[in-house]
């Protein structure tokens, strides 16, 4: 399973669409072990480009602080699960917490 986490200063960014870097983290859901991490520059924030880029990289789940409704709908259309309201932690910490069921989330930090 591959996760995408928008970054700001090495930790989760509060806004999905404004991130200049994404951590793509692969993990085995059975063993709950992280198998790889790659930090990549996404395409420009434009309708559908980012979601298509995620699909091309095999992403099945986005963990973010916030995401607008249009981006969430585009992710849903591409069968990408979206988790919003995650805390500003390191990508590996977030993925491990998601896998073991302990990821605490709050409100969507995107207000538009």
Q: Is residue 28, in this structure, part of any structural domain at all?
A: yes
Q: Is residue 99, in this structure, part of any structural domain at all?
A: no
Q: Is residue 94, in this structure, part of any structural domain at all?
A: no
Q: Is residue 111, in this structure, part of any structural domain at all?
A: no
In terms of C-beta density within 10 A (0-12 exposed, 13-18 middle, 19 or more buried), how is residue 38 classed? exposed
Q: Which of 37-41, 68-72, 74-78, 100-104 has the lowest mean pLDDT?
A: 68-72
- In which domain, by residue range, is 64 found? 7-33+45-76
pLDDT at 112 over 70: no
Tens-place pLDDT, residues 44-90: 877 778 999 999 999 999 999 999 899 999 999 999 999 999 999 99
Q: Is residue 50, in this structure, part of any structural domain at all?
A: yes
**Number of domains making up the chain:** 1
Q: Is residue 82, in this structure, part of any structural domain at all?
A: no
Contacts for 33 with CB less than 8 Å, ≥ 6 apart: 27
pTM of the model: 0.94
Q: Is residue 86, in this structure, part of any structural domain at all?
A: no
User: What average pLDDT score do residues 84-103 get?
Assistant: 96
């Amino acid at each position: 399973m591959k996760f995408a986490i928008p970054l700001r200063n090495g930790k989760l960014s509060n806004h999905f669409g404004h991130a200049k870097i994404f951590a793509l983290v692969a993990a085995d859901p059975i063993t709950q072990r992280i198998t790889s991490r790659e930090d990549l520059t996404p395409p420009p924030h434009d309708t559908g480009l980012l979601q298509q880029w995620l699909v091309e990289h095999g992403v099945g789940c986005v963990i973010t602080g916030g995401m607008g409704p249009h981006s969430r709908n585009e992710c849903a259309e591409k069968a990408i699960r979206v988790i919003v309201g995650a805390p500003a932690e390191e990508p590996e910490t977030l993925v491990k917490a998601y896998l073991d069921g302990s990821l605490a989330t709050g409100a969507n930090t995107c207000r538009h």
